[in-house]
Chain A
Amino acid sequence: MDALIEPLQYGFMQRSLIIAILVGLICAIVGSYLIVQRLALLGDAISHSVLPGLAIAFLFGFNIFVGAFIAGVLSTVIIAWIRARSPIKEDAAMGIVFSAFFALGITLITVIQKDNKIDLNHFLFGNILGVTVSDVRDTAIIAAVILAIVFLFYKELLFYTFDSLGAQAAGLPTNLLNLGLMVLIALTIVASMKAVGVILVLSLLITPGATAYLLVKRLHHVMILGAAIGILSSISGMYLSYFYNLPSGAAIVMVASGLFFLAFLLSPRHGILTQPRSRTVPSLPLLREIRDLIPKNRQKG
């Protein structure tokens, strides 16, 4: 226990701990919406797209969080635009836009790097042990905004993400709700850049929520349990990073992924080992899985 408390006498560890808690919390909550809407790829697209905005903001001396946020939202607008105005499907549009933004971002940061104290790797892979006081302040403000939005619009967002046509037919402003979700996702990614980096932030968005999804059956329970798993993952990852000198983002992601795999195997509702799908063939789980791939004509009445 002392080993866990001892590092906290350092200011940078205290700051890292706060960031780890905030990022674990908001990523899991906002990521729950991505999971239930099958928009995991969109999270990936936005996270890669923030890079040029960040670089341009740095170049002109603006707040890099604001620049990154604008680029992230802009990328979703362009994706929607390509999809609406051409026969290109959404996934292809995402692939085109996020790789283009990402390439532009890498180019800009590499150019800026020559004259400035800025490290491309820290944005790509995160550097939770290097966060500053102003990083903590910005992240806390963003987290407060995100939590307030989710709390205030919870019932509308639940309806919209579950049944968008039904919500629209009931007279809810679904375009606005969709834009709100995009803003939430972009804000979350921007707030998480310093902790895990833009490449691995997808894991914190998706994995804790997906783990909780295997264990509970209501959206707000998925969010709360996912947040606990996300916070646990980021704190553990931070300590692993400190003690073993591992890259922080990667350490956080590995813990989160390990927890997901445990739930995947052991979930009382959906676990591979705890939910044998058939009693007639008590064989190895792997064999059961292979057998389940064979299509069946089972009709739900």
Chain B
Amino acid sequence: MQSASFFDNASPNPRFTVHTQAQQAASNLVVDNLSVKYRAIDALTDVSFSVKPGRLVGIFGPNGAGKSTLIKAMLGLIPTISGKVLYQGKPLVDQLDQVAYVPQRSQIDWSYPVTVWDVVMMGRTKKTGWFQRYSSISRRLATQALERVGMIEFRDRAISDLSGGQQQRVFLARALAQQAEVFCFDEPFVGIDQKTQAIMFDVFKELTRENKLILVVNHDLGESIAHFDDLILLNKSLVASGTRQQVLTQENLEQAYGGRVVFFSEAA
């Protein structure tokens, strides 16, 4: 295998180079003219951008900018009125088994009678298939994921007994156990402690090194913004997208946040 890939890289054939570029483009996630309406209100209008794997991508914007709506629309969780979302050239909604999604904290009933272990195993439900029991591979993946987020000793605890940060780490473990290629996190830093935030950014970095595609909805323009490679700035429509340095201009921020932003330039 190794010699073959060496040969491929060294190939002088220009057509081959074109081919690999096309392949790379195809492995991107492309959002094309996505629009969403809630009854008569335009929630998102003609949003287009593309993101690459191996980069930590933040979706930023003020409250009500449509950040969560964007993620949900991309995954087909809410109806859209126009637009396409392609991953590796095919509709993302047809490849949801490649996607791990962590919803906003507020959408979960934290008093539900489940243990930490039950929640992480949910990440294996789809891959396990109908009428099947969880395999030993699934149990091993769940154990590894819980170890990675430092929650293995809590595996038999009810989720209602955990702190907000611990609960968020359990959901992170569930996403890891899914063995996905595309990760979508909706406001993962709300109501969590410093330790959890550090673990989450560590895991995000690891996932980017594994060339996964990671989208994180966030609204906090504080120091943590420096962790992101690329940004998508949103306010009902796309304000800007690109690398952090490209996006974080005074002009873009004023357009998104309405000129009320004091921006810490050292983060950019």
Q: Which residues of A contact B (CB under 8 A)?
A: 36, 38, 152-153, 155-156, 158-159, 161-163, 165-172, 213, 216-219, 221-222, 299-301
* A residues near B102, Cβ cutoff 8 Å: 166
**Cβ contact within 8 Å between A171 and B114:** no
A4 to chain B, nearest CB (A): 33
The chain B residue sitting closest to A163, CB to CB, is B108
Q: Classify the secondary structure of A's interface with B.
A: helix
Shortest distance from the beta carbon of B57 to any chain A beta carbon, whole Å: 17
A-contact 0/1 string along B109-151, CB 8 Å cutoff: 1001111001101110110101100100000000000000000
Q: Which 3 A-B pairs have the closest CB atoms?
A: A171-B96, A169-B101, A217-B158
> What B residues does A165 contact at CB under 8 A?
72, 77, 101, 103, 107
Q: Which residues of B contact A153 (CB under 8 A)?
A: 130
- CB pair A219–B122 under 8 Å, yes or no, is no
Contact in complex: A163, B126 (CB < 8 Å): no
What B residues does A218 contact at CB under 8 A?
113-115, 118, 158
Partner of B125, one of A161, A172, A300: A172
Report Cα–Cα, A217/B158, bound state, in Å.
6
Q: Are A171 and B126 in contact (CB under 8 A)?
A: yes
Known: A162-B114, A217-B115. A36 touches B109 (CB 8 A): yes
Q: Do B163 and A158 touch across chains, with their CB atoms under 8 A apart?
A: no
For the complex, is B206 an interface residue (Cβ under 8 Å from A)? no
Q: Which residues of A contact B119 (CB under 8 A)?
A: 162
A-B contacts, 10 listed (Cβ < 8 Å): A162-B108, A162-B122, A163-B108, A168-B75, A169-B96, A170-B101, A170-B178, A217-B114, A299-B191, A301-B193
Report B60-110 residues with CB < 8 Å from chain A CB. Answer: 72, 75-77, 96-97, 99-103, 107-109
Q: Are A300 and B191 in contact (CB under 8 A)?
A: yes
Interchain CB contact under 8 A, A219 and B75:
no
Interface size on B, residues (CB 8 A): 39
CB distance from A216 to the nearest CB of B (A): 7
Beyond A162-B119, A165-B107, A171-B96, list 10 extra A-B contacts (CB 8 Å).
A152-B130, A152-B131, A158-B114, A165-B72, A166-B102, A170-B97, A170-B126, A218-B114, A219-B113, A301-B193
Query: Are A156 and B109 in contact (CB-based, < 8 A)?
Result: no
Is B165 in the interface zone, CB < 8 Å from A?
A: yes
Give chain A nearest CB distance to B122 CB in angstroms.
Answer: 4
- In the assembled complex, the Cα of A264 lies from the Cα of B142 at a distance in Å of 35
Contact in complex: B113, A221 (CB < 8 Å) = yes
Q: Are A169 and B97 in contact (CB under 8 A)?
A: no
Name the B residues within 8 Å of A222 (CB-CB). Answer: 113
Check A163/B103 contact, CB under 8 A, given A155-B125, A301-B193. Answer: yes
- Kindly list chain B residues whose C-beta atoms are within 8 Å of the C-beta of A217: 113-115, 158, 160
Give bound CA distance, A166 to B172, whole Å: 12
Cα-based distance from A26 to B236 in the complex (angstroms): 48
Q: Which residues of B contact A167 (CB under 8 A)?
A: 122, 125
Write the nearest CB–CB distance from B15 to chain A, whole angstroms. 37
Q: Complex Cα distance A167/B158, Å? A: 20
Tell me which of A170, A216, A219, A221 contacts B99 (CB under 8 A).
A170
The answer on a CB contact under 8 Å between B128 and A301 is: no
Cβ of B167 to closest chain A Cβ, rounded Å: 9
Q: Compute how far the CA of A219 lies from the CA of B99 in the bound complex, rounded to whole angstroms.
A: 26
B54 at interface, CB cutoff 8 A: no
A36-B109, A162-B114, A165-B103 known; A170 vs B96 contact (CB < 8 Å): yes
Instruction: Say yes or no: A216 contacts B113, CB within 8 Å.
Output: yes
Chain A contacts for B126, CB-based, 8 A = 170-172
B108 to chain A, nearest CB (A): 6
A162→B165 contact, CB < 8 A: no
Known interface pairs A156-B130, A300-B191. Does A162 touch B163 (Cβ–Cβ under 8 Å)?
Answer: no
Alpha-carbon distance A167/B100, docked complex (angstroms): 10
A residues less than 8 Å from B97 (CB atoms) = 170-171
Contact of A301 among B72, B96, B131, B165 (CB under 8 A): B165
| Chain A hits for B118, CB < 8 A | 158, 218-219
Residues of B contacting A216 in the complex (Cβ-Cβ under 8 angstroms): 113
User: Are B122 and A159 in contact, CB atoms less than 8 angstroms apart?
Assistant: yes
Instruction: Given A152-B131, A216-B113, A218-B113, decide whether A166 and B122 contact each other with a Cβ distance below 8 A.
Output: yes
Taking the closest CB of chain A, its distance from the CB of B1, in whole angstroms, is 31
A171 to B131, CA, bound (A): 16
Closest to A213 in B: B113
Using Cβ atoms and an 8 Å threshold, which residues of chain B touch A168? 75-77
Using an 8 Å CB-CB cutoff, how does the interface string of B29-48 with A read, 1 for contact, 0 for none?
Answer: 00000000000000000000
B121 / chain A contacts, CB cutoff of 8 Å:
155
How far is A295 from B101 in the complex, measured between Cα atoms in Å?
A: 33
Residue of A nearest to B95 (CB): A171
Q: Are B125 and A162 in contact (CB under 8 A)?
A: no
Query: Does A301 lie within 8 Å of B125, measured CB to CB?
Result: no
Separation of A36 and B113 alpha carbons in the complex (Å) = 8
